[in-house]
Amino acid sequence: MNAQSASNRLIIASRNQKKTGEIRDLLAPWKIEVKSVGDFPDVPKTIEDGETFAANAAKKAAKVATALNSWALGEDSGLCVAALGGAPGIYSARFSGENANDDLNNAKLQEELKNVSDDKRNAFYICHVAVSDSEGNVQLSMEAECHGRITRDPRGTNGFGYDPYFLIPEYGRTFGEFKPIVKRQISHRARAFRQLLPKLVSLLKQQ
């Protein structure tokens, strides 16, 4: 990718296809050309060893930006459960261990919460987004939350991660039950991007 083409593109520093798809949909109305780091197999995976969502998002953005000489967006998100002291937190994607997947993570979550009453299953999703320029300097950083409660049984098949168990009380539905177009309006990711997008568009137009 040459410098001229790089200035017109934003690389999403994630190989999670569902997450990248959500981000692509959020950016679509702004006509930003989006690529996934998964489109560039030579770029090494970023080790997410930061102690906060912000640190991991910034690291992913900067690593991919410098590797591809392009603006890049790093996003780190997860579930924080009050009764578990904020866990799984930054370890949400690997909550159940080295071979973690959505099913195993949700099974572990339910096991940890089996003796917790419904009224004490409060939780929130958090999303931190960082945007780096081609030299690895983070130019934008935003964070947002979406609060809800963890159900005992899965509801719905949409979304990914803990979505079928994450209930939004005021709607009476889990993220798994929402249509994607609705989730794009109310989720933690949607809220973070709502803050980010006007500033991101302004930055990219200056390139």
- The full DSSP string for 45-57 is PPP---SSHHHHH
Cα radius of gyration (the chain) = 17
Instruction: Determine whether the annotation assigns residue 163 to a binding site.
Output: yes
Instruction: Determine whether the annotation assigns residue 162 to a binding site.
Output: yes
Instruction: Determine whether the annotation assigns residue 188 to a binding site.
Output: yes
CATH architecture designation of domain 3-205: Alpha-Beta Complex (3.90)
Which residues have C-beta within 8 Å of that of residue 93, sequence separation ≥ 6? Answer: 78, 100, 105, 161
Which residues have C-beta within 8 Å of that of residue 156, sequence separation ≥ 6? Answer: 163, 164, 173, 174, 175, 176, 177, 178
First to last CA, the chain: 15
Per-residue pLDDT tens listing for the chain (207 residues): 333 334 568 999 998 888 888 888 888 888 788 899 999 999 999 998 999 999 999 999 999 999 999 999 999 999 999 999 999 999 999 999 989 999 999 999 999 999 999 999 999 999 999 999 999 999 999 999 999 999 999 999 999 999 999 999 999 999 999 998 899 899 999 999 999 989 998 888 776
Distance from chain centroid for Cα 90: 11
Instruction: Determine whether the annotation assigns residue 128 to a binding site.
Output: no
pLDDT attached to residue 188: 95
pLDDT attached to residue 2: 36
C-alpha span between 164 and 150 (Å, rounded): 9
Instruction: Determine whether the annotation assigns residue 14 to a binding site.
Output: yes
Residues assigned a catalytic role: 76
Domain boundaries, the chain: 3-205
